[in-house]
Structure 1
């Protein structure tokens, strides 16, 4: 009679030594990479805020979150309409929010130009970080209310206007944004805006799609549209970015595409006119886009270097995100999005400094892998 047994490979000293060797190699590789990064940091004068570890960035994010909790707590404990952190609590305003926990500060929001007896609320916030650059951060329009964003575009922007859309209309099985613009050129029909004259002021508009193209480098769908209101016209550029899933960050080619999109959106825009930037809630991807646009300009102009020369421990990323959240809650929504801003700024700092590298450090400094963070 034959009996079968489950034969297990015995745990051997050899396998233990093998794992130990692999672990040592991994630790050695990490140490070498860290040492290389430290040499690069020193060679290219990388400032303290761009040497933060992933854990330190997480702690910065927690600090931003606590500051936001304090603001919201202040608005709920002692409701004061004049408070910087007051929020709209009317039934009409609540009905127009896509998400119940993402609201504009009542004293820093866009007011729709409507007759005084009507609610002028739209979930949109004016954003200013530097002279000459303005934005409007807003949620993705809801069905039945999409005429509001066109009314806002008409009254709040110059000609031409620019809309940067950082979400798909439908993502991960959920409705993220109503289709508020003409989709393709297969029909000559114009999109009619406010046909029922919601506010009784005669504001009726049409939106006609003039051209549609795909920009491979920015991974964006570019629509050129004509907005007509009561016989007057305004050109509108609509830039729809496809490489940024909700709560995530662009990686690889998507990151390069996003940086091209940032530059493109400014090139299309009328100087001094606010760019409309939105995702679904209008805070995560929207806040990250605006933070990067501002900080990259500050880096290129030399303003960041001037600031840290005066105050070596100044952190312009933290400062910028805090200023954003003072103007609209929850901007740069996740710690990974905050880390992404630090990552891009670090890479651009090194890129700027290595255009003409010092001969004495060229051979000994290894290139830093894109997307890597300093080891904790």
Structure 2
């Protein structure tokens, strides 16, 4: 179980004794501000991300219910749907433009319409129109950034990763995104953790803060165990930090 957040529950603000079926395998990732000392710390007053596993066929409704309840309007997806015949993540959005799919989670119904899909070299960008039975008269847009070139248990191409982060930050700065960004790969651990640490490193380096990679990972693992899964990903983060420090203009999106 995640240590700091212990997983998300549906309707957590009104449930005093949530049932097992009310839990979803997702974790709040709290803010880790830049520091001028050697130790990174969590700021429990702000949630920057929600880290989760890729939805299964049986949990797509739960995934969208989480999006609605947490008022998250951005998703970063870091996995392919399949690897050969093996399903890595169920497709939780409509196949075709302007098509609407309906999903159910307990008493909640969610409708998702694919409004836009643009394929860039490093990422596919989608926009969904979402409505739910929680607030049936309210419709909101959820942005979806999908990177398919990052291998499971591996590391990304650094340039492609920066392109993905650029698009995420452009949406964030233009106020298109509200609430925490939902980030997932297959299990919501290795690639998800590496992406989040990469964004934090870029922010911390540009603000002239102390670069504490081990400390950041330690704090992330307080939120969700096993974030950044292996040595390859750990080495990649040091290489990326070195690239940022060596070239101060690197990673500064327009």
TM-based fold match above 0.5: yes
Shorter-chain-normalised TM-score: which range? 0.7 to 0.9
| Contact kept? 1:184, 1:212, Cα under 8 Å | no
SS of equivalent residue, structure 1 residue 352: coil
Which of 108, 113, 119 is the matching residue for 2:11? 113
Q: Does residue 78 of structure 2 align to residue 166 of structure 1?
A: yes
Q: Does residue 184 of structure 2 align to residue 282 of structure 1?
A: no
* Aligned match of 2:150: 244
SS of equivalent residue, structure 2 residue 22: coil
* Aligned match of 1:332: 228
Q: Kindly tell me: are residues 286 and 297 of structure 1, through their superposed partners in 2, closer, same or farther at Cα, counting changes over 3 Å? A: same
* Aligned match of 2:36: none
| Contact kept? 2:53, 2:185, Cα under 8 Å | yes
Give unpaired runs (5+ residues) of structure 2: 34-42
| Contact kept? 1:134, 1:272, Cα under 8 Å | no
Choose between structure 1 and 2: higher helix proportion: 1
Residue by residue, what CA displacement relative to the aligned partner does 1:38-79 show, whole Å, maximum 9, x if unpaired?
Answer: xxxxxxxxxxxxxxxxxxxxxxxxxxxxxxxxxxxxxxxxxx
* Aligned match of 2:158: 255
Which of 205, 208, 215 is the matching residue for 2:120? 215
Shift of 1:300: 0.3
Which of 235, 246, 252 is the matching residue for 1:350? 246
Shift of 1:172: 5.0
**Structure 1 residue runs of 4+, over 4 Å off?**
114-118
Choose between structure 1 and 2: higher strand proportion: 2
* Aligned match of 2:65: 151
| Contact kept? 1:164, 1:239, Cα under 8 Å | yes
| CA RMSD, Structure 1 to Structure 2 (Å) | 2.2
How many residue pairs end up in the alignment? Answer: 228
Q: Distance in 2 between matches of 1:299 and 1:106?
A: 26
Calculate the TM-score normalised by the size of structure 1: 0.57
Q: Distance in 2 between matches of 1:231 and 1:249?
A: 42
Residue by residue, what CA displacement relative to the aligned partner does 1:9-33 show, whole Å, maximum 9, x if unpaired?
Answer: xxxxxxxxxxxxxxxxxxxxxxxxx
Shift of 1:353: 8.4
Q: Distance in 2 between matches of 1:148 and 1:350?
A: 43
Matches within 5 A, 1:1-376: 87=1, 104-105=2-3, 107-113=5-11, 118=19, 119-128=21-30, 129-130=32-33, 134-158=48-72, 161-171=73-83, 173-185=85-97, 188-194=98-104, 198-200=105-107, 203-216=108-121, 219-229=122-132, 230-250=136-156, 254-269=157-172, 270=175, 273-304=179-210, 316-352=212-248
Residue by residue, what CA displacement relative to the aligned partner does 1:232-287 show, whole Å, maximum 9, x if unpaired?
Answer: 1110001110220101112xxx3211112112113223466210000000000000
